[in-house]
Amino acid sequence: MNQPKSPKTVVLEWLAAYNTRDPHALVQLYHDDAENHQVAFGAPLFGRDDLLESFIGFFNAFPDNYTLPLNILEEGEWATVEWEGGGTFSGPLGEHAPNGRTYTLQGCGFFHVVDGKILFQRGYIDRYTWFAQLGLPLE
């Protein structure tokens, strides 16, 4: 029987799909009932459908978005990524019209990988810094 992919392997695949802005490849890395909680934005997302919608919206808003891993740590069923990234606000983001402003940001993400797929993800960024660079209100 094949061994499931390690958390680090899954995160490296996640980074590759994220950096090619492929939302369909991304959601295939998650369990059907996965939870993704980006703490700076409040309530978590649940399930592949919500994740797909979120990734599509984000990649439409930031079509040149990139994320570079600075550190990837693995312990048991968990992988943690410290990253830096950026992009250009080129498409609508919710109710906000694009303005062409760019951002650079650092953050970290925690991935709980069970049976080779992401069951839970939590991410931390500085929303104030990100929104200030984009000229967006914090509300």
Looking at residue 43, what DSSP letter applies?
A: S
For residue 28 the two structure tokens come to 């295939």
Domain that holds residue 60: 7-134
Residue 59 lies in a domain: yes
Residue 38 lies in a domain: yes
* pLDDT (tens digit per residue) in 43-75: 999 999 999 999 999 999 999 999 999 999 999
Residue 62 lies in a domain: yes
**Structural domains in the chain (count):** 1
For residue 119 the two structure tokens come to 């069951």
Task: Return the amino acid letter for 93.
Answer: L
Q: Which residues of the chain have pLDDT under 50?
A: none
For the question of whether the overall pTM of this predicted structure is more than 0.85, the answer is yes
Q: What are phi and psi of 49, to 5 degrees?
A: -60, -45
Residue 51 lies in a domain: yes
CATH number for position 55 = 3.10.450.50
Bridge partners, 83 (sequence order):
69, 107
